[in-house]
Structure 1
């Protein structure tokens, strides 16, 4: 991939990851935001790094920690969406399953995205040229490899039937799920994008910065993300405080629509 904006997003994500790793490898404190979610200095410093890189484009940035501080820009039809550290709980637990996420949204849809997992050394890109995985080598993305969804593979779901929503067990039974794969943060979307699972149902709240980059990667790999009404997930929902409705991510539209319809029905019972 050679798009200048995606190259810039990659540099920003990799540098933010280095900042996060520096903090991850030493003692740190956490606190709670107004909504009760945890935050650390790593979230704040990583966002600062990313914003410094993206500023040169002049494109508005919807960034999680900035929004929490009351800094909400006028977005327009083209804007970045940033989650500098998705999976702060995983970061605090030091299990490595957290990510840096940057997406470019145009006309309500994410068209470019990067997801990096600094501890795991893995990264994922998505855009018009397709989806790719890569290895993180300091501030360089190496071993760029095309990835795609694996339709018609065994029915694996990205979720935990033992810790999820009550309707999740019934949904898994409806689709004859053979295995559930549990992983933190936006890595859920990346598992689908590289063909290691079939769908990811979400029965609990998320915000736009939780999904934008992962959605861009998944859709570039041939997958889809739909609300329970079967529509594409839209971005720039300032009137909803940037909250997403429940959704399903899947390896193809047919499975996504079927799962969305079943999820909607289960929530009505």
Structure 2
């Protein structure tokens, strides 16, 4: 099968995310039953149902898919140099809390780097996309993408930091003091990357564990908007870490590469002290 162009894959991923969001909202409208995975993280019927929908959409491309729920079930395909990364319901804790801050994440990784990403928030219908054509936000509440507009990062001061509602870390306090952070914009799931991408914040440091499906789509959106995501050695965060169970190291997402690398250096210093 001939490979689809980037724009076609972005549109396909957005359609898949919209369909998955419908399934998720059907479950969201009922009492939610959650069980614990082997790692202790929660999972609901919405996770598996949404991933099944996404896999059906992506199957015709012939591109392998690394899906969170598939991995949990022991299904890991041969990935190669080009594959999708899917988190059908990022922010399951937020889903269970019913605060609306959960997303559908679909990314395309090529040679270890995310080159396309879709992040959709089912409750609001707001969807973010990023690829070689730039970063955009649109409204999907009608079932199709409308009101599409370009987004870009901000360099506003005083700096605003995005912190997680569900995963905090004591080192954040010292980092904020060192970098003279002026405000904390707290939000769950991969929406943190999207807030940076559209200029609502400038810095997102991560001191706690994440998996590749948690970050790939958000990283693609942020990088398409002009931002950067680096690990604590200052290098762009890569994907395909099967030998590490697809776990990410600590990282910094920021509105610019220079800010990301500066914050990464400070994080390294703080964690080593």
Instruction: Give yes or no for contact 1:161–1:169 (8 Å, CA) kept in 2.
Output: no
Cross-structure match for 2:150? 146
Please point out which of 20, 33, 38 is paired with 1:34. 38
Instruction: Give yes or no for contact 2:65–2:77 (8 Å, CA) kept in 1.
Output: yes
Instruction: Give yes or no for contact 2:48–2:69 (8 Å, CA) kept in 1.
Output: yes
Going from structure 1 to structure 2, the CA distance change for 1:128 and 1:15 (only over 3 Å counts) comes to same
Going from structure 1 to structure 2, the CA distance change for 1:139 and 1:264 (only over 3 Å counts) comes to same
Instruction: Give yes or no for contact 2:82–2:110 (8 Å, CA) kept in 1.
Output: yes
Instruction: Give yes or no for contact 1:224–1:251 (8 Å, CA) kept in 2.
Output: yes
Aligned to 1:9, the other structure's residue is in SS state helix
Cross-structure match for 1:155? 159
Aligned to 1:191, the other structure's residue is in SS state helix
| Displacement after TM superposition at 1:164 (Å) | 2.2
Cross-structure match for 1:53? 57
Cross-structure match for 2:24? 20
Going from structure 1 to structure 2, the CA distance change for 1:162 and 1:219 (only over 3 Å counts) comes to closer
Cross-structure match for 1:233? 237
RMSD: 1.5
Mapped to 1, the partners of 2:239 and 2:142 lie a distance apart of: 32
Cross-structure match for 1:176? 180
What TM-score, normalized to structure 1?
A: 0.97
What TM-score, normalized to structure 2?
A: 0.96
Instruction: Give yes or no for contact 1:161–1:180 (8 Å, CA) kept in 2.
Output: no
| Displacement after TM superposition at 1:151 (Å) | 1.5
Mapped to 1, the partners of 2:166 and 2:84 lie a distance apart of: 35
Cross-structure match for 1:107? 111
Cα deviation code 1:3-45 (max 9, x no counterpart): 1111110110000000000110112311000000000000000
Going from structure 1 to structure 2, the CA distance change for 1:2 and 1:267 (only over 3 Å counts) comes to closer
Instruction: Give yes or no for contact 2:6–2:131 (8 Å, CA) kept in 1.
Output: no
Mapped to 1, the partners of 2:168 and 2:28 lie a distance apart of: 28
| Displacement after TM superposition at 1:160 (Å) | 5.8
- Choose 181-190 or 1-10, whichever is displaced more: 1-10
Cross-structure match for 2:263? 259
Cα deviation code 1:173-217 (max 9, x no counterpart): 001111111100000000000000010000000000000000000
Mapped to 2, the partners of 1:235 and 1:182 lie a distance apart of: 26
| Displacement after TM superposition at 1:138 (Å) | 3.1
Mapped to 2, the partners of 1:142 and 1:110 lie a distance apart of: 25
| Displacement after TM superposition at 1:162 (Å) | 11
Cα deviation code 1:239-267 (max 9, x no counterpart): 10000000000000110110000000101
Mapped to 2, the partners of 1:117 and 1:14 lie a distance apart of: 9
Aligned to 1:206, the other structure's residue is in SS state coil
Q: Is 1:82 paired with 2:86? A: yes
Going from structure 1 to structure 2, the CA distance change for 1:160 and 1:103 (only over 3 Å counts) comes to closer
Mapped to 1, the partners of 2:249 and 2:28 lie a distance apart of: 32
* Structure 2 unaligned residues grouped into runs of 5+: none
